[in-house]
Every structure is written in C-alpha cells, then in structure tokens.
Structure 1
Amino acid sequence: MNSKNPTVRTLTQIALWVVALIVLFYVLFPFYWAVKTSLTGPAQLSSEALAWFPTHVTWQNFRDVFAGQPFGRNLLNSVVVASGTVILSLLLSALAAYALGKFRFKGKSILMYIILAVSVFPQIAVLSGLYTMIKTFSLYNTWGGLILSYMIFTLPFTVWTLTAFVREIPTELEEAAYVDGASPLQTLFQVLLPVMTPALVTTGLLAFINAWNEYLFALTFTSDNTAKTVPVAIANFSGATIYENPFGQIMAASVIVTIPLIILVLVFQRNIVSGLTAGAVKG
C-alpha cells in the first residue's frame, strides 16, 4: 500500500495542475482574444478574425476609440461616478457598521437581514420607481443621479461586510477612548477607522468594480455624454454604416477600461482575499 502512495500523489498533483490550467485558460482566453482583436486593423480583421495571432500589430483601434467619439468624457464620468459612489458608501456604511457591530438595540438582527435581502434584490425590480424618483428630483443625466442609484447595490454590501469587521475589533479600544473623554463619533473616526483600513480598502475596491461595470442604471438614467459611463458608451459604438460593427474599437475600449481594474486587483489582491475570508468566517 505504501509503495503506491508516491504514484497516487503524483497522479493527484498532475490532475490538479491539469484542472488549474483548464481554469486559467478559461479565465484568461477571453481577455487575450480581446487584446488580439484590438491590435488587429479593421482591414485585416475580416480575414483574420479567427487567427490566433495578428499578422500585423496596429494601434489604430485605440486611436479611433478616442477620435471617433468622446470616449475620454465617458471615462471621466465613470471615474467620478464610481469614486463618488465608493466614498459615500464607505462613509455611510462605516457609521452603520459601527452601530450594528458595537451597540445593542431591538430589531438589530431583523435590520441586518433586511440589508442582506436588499443586496440580493434584482435591479430591474426597482428600476421604474427609481426612474420616477430620479426624474422628480431633476437628477436625470447627472453624476448625482447615477451615484444615488448605484448606492442601492453598493451600500448594503459595504454595510454587511464592514459590520463583520467591526464586530471583531477589541472592545478595549472603545473603552480606552471613552475613558479619555472621546464621543462615539470621535471613537469611530479617530480610533476605529485606522484599524478598519484593510476592510475599507477591500470593500471599497469591490464596490468600485461593481459601480465601474454597472450598465442597466447607466443606460436608463443617461441620454447623452454628459453623464454616460463607459459600459453604455461601448455598447453604443457604431461603424461608418448601420451594417458595420466596429469589433476592433469595441475590443480596444474594453481593454482600456479593464486594465485599471486588473491593476487594482493585483495590487490589493491580498486585502481582497483576507477581507472576504475574515468577513465570511468571523462574521
């Protein structure tokens, strides 16, 4: 039996590597194909659409993305809206998480379940009512309207995640702050927030990715490039004629908006993994 153990371990390792390579190929191949298509010129794309490698690398599609439409404005809209959504969500969720994680009051468990239920609600279910509210307050086609609508799905997520972190902060820190005469708000912003920095980075990054990629609300609540974000702008790319679909430009724009997210995830990947693990296990 012992003589077979090395063979079994070797076969197990080979099987794991094969599965890992298959998963890696499945995850990375779409992005590779987008990069390959974006580097293929419009003239060659029709004849080399299925080629694994472009015969001639060109940056024309990337230049056409910014020359043919106000894509720079769309990028600015996405940056402002996603950043504003994250900042407001983290500020409000830090206050809510402090109350839910450190104070006892009736109905706290019910409130937590309500927040969880809101986070899994489909966007289409609240679209009509939210559209009426956006129009009533004259927020249509504005950054503020998009930020307000995006917080519907980012705020429950950040509240739920940060609450799990706040519960694990030692109570002695609060007691020491109270002894020194700090108020609850001073305790939160001067004592707890520095401790919560890894949690804030994790939840903020994930909320930023969700807001950056959001499409339905951006499509519904914008009508021109005043506030239109990049997902809607890419979906509306058009060719020289109604029969032409500019695949090269679409892929180039997709690569442009994906690279910043990849960089952010690679930089903060340890915070993301540790944050999700702590929130799932300790919460």
Structure 2
Amino acid sequence: MWRRAGMIGIALYCLVPFYWMVVSSFRRTADIHDKSPLPAPWSLESYDAVFAADMGFGRSLVNSLVVAGTTTAVTLLIGTMAAYALARLAFRGKNVILALVIAVSMFPGALLIVPLLELFTTIGWINTYQAMIVPSMSFALPLTIWNLTTFFRQLPYELEQAAMIDGCTAFAAFRRVMLPLAAPGVFTTAILAFIATWNEFIIAVTMVNDQSRQTATVRIAQFTGAAKFDTPFGTQMAAGVLVTIPLVSRCCSSSAASSQG
C-alpha cells in the first residue's frame, strides 16, 4: 500500500506542473493569475496569440520537426549499423570504442558552443539547419549506439547463423532477420533521440538568430506576448502545450508498440 501511495505521489508531483500549464493556457489574459483548478470561463485567447502572424510560432514548429526528424533519421541509420558491428563482430579495439562512446555522451555540450560557433561562422553555417542538426547528432548518436549495442547483444547468434546457412550474406541477415527483431529497441531509441533533439535549446539559440530558422523552444523563450495582451504567460503556456503534444504522442506510440511486442 505504501509503495503504491509513493508511486501515486511521485506521479502527481511530476504531472501537476503539466496540468497547470494546460489549465493556464485556456485562461483569459485577465484571469492568468487565477488560482482556480479550472478556467472560468474557458478561452482560446492564448492560442490565438501564439499563432498570430508576428509570433512566427507555426514556422518554428516546422523548424523543430525538420531538425529533430532529420537528426533522428540520420542517427538511426548510422547508429544501428555501428551498434550491430560492435555487438556482433569480433575485432580489436571494440571495448575502447564503446568506452569512447560513453565518454562522448557524458561530455558537457556547453563547452563545445564557442568552438562550434567559430567553426560554423567560418564555413558559413550560421542560421542554417545543419548548424543545429550536426551538433545534435554528436549527442544523440552515442546514446543510440550504446542502447542498440546492448539490445543486439541479447539476440541469439543462432538466428544469424541459420539465415546465412539459407544463403543470406551477413548484411542480408542483419537486414532481413536481426533488424526486424530489434525493431522495438530501435523504435524506443528513436523516441529518445527525437525527444532529446526536440528539447534542445543551447545550440539552437546560439547558432541561429534568424527568426525563420528558430526552433520552437527558442521562440517560446523569446515570447513577449501579443501587443493586445498585457502578459506573455498565457502565450508561453499555450506554446508549451503545443510543443509537448508531439512528445506525448511519440511516447504513447512507443508504449503501444512495446505492449504489442
């Protein structure tokens, strides 16, 4: 009983801020500081303000999707093959490579901002998508490789051997047999990589100052509210709800896929 009560308490502690964000997003601007548990009356003023022409939030959502989607796709393409090689092939220096992967994932990203800013300024990458995608890959790729290496190691070697006896090459066995079996792990890793890239802020705010290329997290931080409203809190809450929707939907999809698996 106490364990269940503790779990419920932790869940409430984590979910109450999100609940209050949703409730605040539906309040009128004049009622934004109201302490009632539900808006009275309900209002879409904040959502109208978020999508005002001068806010540029719709464009920033598209930018976030481009950056996070591209980063996730390229990271999975490279990370899946690298993880399979590290998990199944025997070669010298494999443990050193895995140690380097862990070391890179623990390296503080803030220390790379100044060198990357100087490099991207030199090569003309400032205010471009690649200035956000490439640094994000440097953090998402180690996570992908480490997670999938552990997952591939748990799959039986006999499956590959049986596939190659039936005429498959090593790559065909990986593509036709091992990759479908590893689909739950690949999908879960894709969710983690997408969330990490979607929520990234430091690189995006440093490398891009053109509003047409800014991501949603950067635009929310720069909200000052629409001119007809007195406070930016409502628009920030509404934008926070909209930014959270893709993350929640992906997490729900991952949970559904895991339950089916």
TM-score (norm 2): 0.91
Runs of 4+ off more than 4 Å: 270-275
Amino acid at match of 2:18: F
Amino acid at match of 1:59: L
Q: Which has the larger radius of gyration?
A: 1
Q: 1:226: how far off?
A: 2.8
1:153 maps onto 2:139 in alignment: yes
CA RMSD of aligned residues (A): 2.2
Written as runs of structure 1 = structure 2, the 5 A alignment for 1:263-274 is 263-269=249-255
For 2:89, the equivalent position in structure 1 comes to: 103
Give the deviation of 1:103 after TM superposition. 0.9
Letter matched to residue 189 of structure 1: R
Partner of 2:201: 215
1:230 correspondence with 2:211 = no
Amino acid at match of 1:118: V
- The residue type equivalent to 2:100 in the other structure is I
Q: Cα deviation per residue 1:138-167 (whole Å; 9 max; x = unaligned)?
A: 222111221111001100000000111111
Of the three residues 144, 148, 155, the one matched with 1:162 is: 148
In structure 2, the residue matched to 1:132 is 118
C-alpha displacement at 1:130, in angstroms?
2.0
Match of 1:72?
58
Q: Hey, what's the Cα distance between the residues in 1 that align with 2:219 and 2:180?
A: 38
1:57 counterpart = 2:42: yes
Give the secondary-structure state (helix, strand or coil) at the position aligned to 1:238. Answer: coil
Q: Alpha-carbon deviation of 1:221?
A: 1.0
Alignment partner, residue 80 of structure 2:
94
User: Does the alignment pair 1:38 with 2:25?
Assistant: yes
Q: CA deviation at 1:126?
A: 1.5
- Shift in CA distance, 238/192, structure 1 to aligned 2, threshold 3 Å: same
> Structure 2 regions of 5+ residues with no counterpart?
none
Residue correspondences, number: 259
Q: In structure 2, do the counterparts of structure 1 residues 257 and 215 end up closer, same or farther at CA, with 3 Å as the change threshold? A: same
Q: 1:211 to 1:171 in 2, by over 3 A?
A: same
Q: Percent identity over the alignment?
A: 38
Specify the SS of the correspondent of 2:124: coil
Residue of structure 2 in register with 1:173 after alignment: 159
Shift in alpha-carbon separation, 1:107–1:20, aligned structure 2, 3 A: same
| Paired position in structure 2 for 1:10 | none
Quote the Cα distance in structure 2 between the aligned partners of 1:37 and 1:202.
32
Aligned residue number for residue 117 of structure 1: 103
Q: 1:98, CA displacement in angstroms?
A: 1.4
Alignment of 1:178-217 (within 5 A): 178-217=164-203
Is the contact between residue 49 and residue 226 of structure 2 (CA under 8 Å) also seen in structure 1? Answer: no
Q: Alpha-carbon deviations, 1:216-263, whole Å to 9, x = none?
A: 11111111123211100100001367xx54100000000011122112
Task: State the partner residue of 1:21.
Answer: 8
Instruction: Please say if residues 61 and 249 of structure 1, whose CA atoms lie closer than 8 Å, have aligned partners that are also in contact.
Output: yes
State whether structure 2 residue 237 is matched by structure 1 residue 251. Answer: yes
Cα distance, 1:273 vs structure 2: 9.2
Q: Distance in 2 between matches of 1:26 and 1:250?
A: 21
Distance 1:255 1:205 in 2: 19
**What does the per-residue CA deviation read over 1:12-59, in whole Å, with 9 as the maximum and x for residues that have no partner?**
x1x23432332122111101110111111112225x2x3333221101
Measured after TM superposition, the shift of residue 198 of structure 1 is: 0.8
Contact 1:34 1:251 (C-alpha < 8 Å) held by counterparts? yes
Task: Give the conservation status (yes or no) of the 8 Å contact 2:195–2:247.
Answer: yes
